Amino acid sequence: MSGDSLRLSPDWTASQPIPLRFDRLEEIARQELAKLVADDSSWSVTSFQLHSIPEDQALKWYFVVEMKPFWEPGPPGPDEHHDSFYVYIDLSGKPGFVTQHYLERQR
């Protein structure tokens, strides 16, 4: 995420309600995923993470949403690779950088 984006996002502390619901985070993540794949409905959310920026006295936070295709079974073996999709979302709901990660084959 860019520093400017995070600085402009709302401050948050653990004593406040989380500013974005999980269903809204999934909606944003699917919009970003749809830019890269033809069928985002075959992907499921595997984690929601909330991270703080230590330099800002833990007042600036962002979410990381991870998604994987439904059809991928368990952990990868030595001859397999698995797709993952991560999207970073600031507390105002603005997505940051989107990446795809392919685990390298172990040789």
Domain limits, the chain: 3-11+19-102
Q: Judging by beta carbons within 10 Å of its beta carbon (0-12, 13-18, 19+), is residue 36 exposed, middle or buried? A: exposed
CA distances from 74 to 36, 42, 68 (A): 23, 16, 11
pTM exceeding the 0.85 threshold for the entire prediction: no
pLDDT at 79: 54
Reported as a single tens digit per residue, the pLDDT across 67-97 is: 998 865 556 555 555 688 999 999 999 998 6
Instruction: Tell me 74's DSSP state.
Output: S
